[in-house]
Amino acid sequence: MDTLEQKISQIDKNRVPVHVAMIMDGNGRWAKKRGLGRSEGHSEGVATVHRVTQFSSDLGIKYLTLYAFSTENWNRPQTEVDTLMYLIGWAIERELPELLRNNVRIHLLGDIERIPEEPRKRLFYARDATAACTGLNLNMCLSYSSRWEITEAARRLASRVAEGSLSPSDIDEKMISDNLTTAGIPDPDLLIRTGGEERISNYLLWQIAYSELYFTDVLWPDFTNEEYADAIIDFQKRERRFGKTSEQVTNTTTTSQI
Ligand code: IPE
Ligand code: IPE
Ligand code: MG
């Protein structure tokens, strides 16, 4: 087994992904395996968020987008939803000093108005407090789903057409991208899902059109920086062709084309 240092030395620092997205799955199963309640799995998952944020910063990754709570997760038992909301508010407040020290800027993606007031205030506070940070952009997807944001974008554009300020023929891919919660952010280069499921679960459907997908059986609380490094090493071995031929893309960049 290579140590973390050995793995880091295998990463080409000039070709790290610009944008990494993660589906943080497996907290419940991690807890169940240990005879603990699901909320203890979620608490342990916060430590992994801390680790991957630090590691992403250290590697010079510019965007880290984390799926923390989906639109569909509102349908979980109310006690679990309450625990998650409490934990999110508490964790962001606790992490804020270190995020500031590491120059990390927080962005909130999703239907944030649905988040209960107490954690929502803490989230807004952290977002505003880090607004001048210029290092890693940490995008927290909360009450987020891709179909929700695409529906919102369609509604917004349709109302502009209805009022006469936009012509349907002017709608292009860029305009749609610019009306998603990820406006201005390059598409993810690498999407990592922990927890063993090989599905997307309504995450960034538009944005991952050409992302490299990496699935691991490791449950989110067990996801170490060694495993994160493995994902990046694997990513760097892939040839991203964006529909072109292998010959065409040789010697061109392997990160987002935006
Ligand atoms: C991911 O872990 C965290 C959230 C979805 C909020 P899960 O809670 O989905 O854990 P499993 O998939 O049940 O193990
Ligand atoms: C995806 O995990 C959502 C988050 C990680 C926030 P889920 O556990 O909700 O996904 P499914 O239900 O297994 O597809
Ligand atoms: Mg799950």
Task: Tell me the domains of the chain and their CATH numbers.
Answer: 17-257 (3.40.1180.10)
Q: Can you tell me the distance from the alpha carbon of 157 to that of 155, in angstroms, rounded to the nearest whole number?
A: 6
Q: Is the distance from the beta carbon of residue 68 to the nearest atom of ligand 2 less than 6 Å?
A: yes
Closest ligand 2 atom to residue 72 Cα is 9
Name the closest ligand to CA 28: 1
Q: Can you tell me the distance from the alpha carbon of 23 to that of 33, in angstroms, rounded to the nearest whole number?
A: 20
Per-residue pLDDT tens for 75-131?
A: 999 999 999 999 999 999 999 999 999 999 999 999 999 999 999 999 999 999 999
pLDDT in tens, the chain (258 residues): 799 999 999 999 999 999 999 999 999 999 999 999 999 999 999 999 999 999 999 999 999 999 999 999 999 999 999 999 999 999 999 999 999 999 999 999 999 999 999 999 999 999 999 999 999 999 999 999 999 999 999 999 999 999 999 999 999 999 999 999 999 999 999 999 999 999 999 999 999 999 999 999 999 999 999 999 999 999 999 999 999 999 999 865 556 554
- For 69, phi then psi, to 5°, come to -160, 120
- 3-class secondary-structure state, position 157: helix
Name the closest ligand to CA 33: 1
Q: Can you tell me the distance from the alpha carbon of 80 to that of 92, in angstroms, rounded to the nearest whole number?
A: 18
36 neighbors 210 (Cβ within 8 angstroms): no
Q: Can you tell me the distance from the alpha carbon of 67 to that of 7, in angstroms, rounded to the nearest whole number?
A: 26
- For 138, phi then psi, to 5°, come to -100, 110
155 neighbors 82 (Cβ within 8 angstroms): no
Which residues are near ligand 1 (CB < 6 Å)? 24-29, 69, 73, 84, 195, 220
Q: What is the pLDDT of residue 245?
A: 97
Tell me the two tokens of residue 158: 């349709």
Q: Catalytic site residue 73? A: yes
Residue 28 Cα to ligand 1 midpoint, Å, equals: 5
Q: Cα–Cα distances in Å, from 1 out to 5, 6, 225, 226?
A: 11, 9, 14, 10
Q: What is the pLDDT of residue 95?
A: 98
Q: Can you tell me the distance from the alpha carbon of 244 to that of 18, in angstroms, rounded to the nearest whole number?
A: 21
Q: Catalytic site residue 222? A: no
Name the closest ligand to CA 32: 1
Q: Which of 25, 187, 189, 230 is catalytic?
A: 25
Mutate which of 22, 25, 193, 197 for ligand 1 pocket (most atoms within 8 A of beta carbon): 25
What strands, in cross-sheet order, belong to the sheet with 19-23? Answer: 105-109, 137-144, 63-70, 19-23, 190-193, 212-215
- Burial track 174-186 (b if 16+ CB lie within 10 A, e otherwise): eeebebbbbeebb
Closest ligand 2 atom to residue 24 Cα is 5
Q: Which of 73, 202, 222, 234 is catalytic?
A: 73
Tell me the two tokens of residue 35: 């005879």
Closest ligand 2 atom to residue 28 Cα is 8
Q: Which among 145, 127, 131, 134 has a CA at the least distance from the CA of 203? A: 145
What is the helix (H) or strand (E) element at residue 66, kind and residue range?
strand 63-70
Four-point Cα dihedral 17, 99, 196, 236, nearest 10: 20
Give the distance from CA 21 to its chain's centroid. Answer: 4
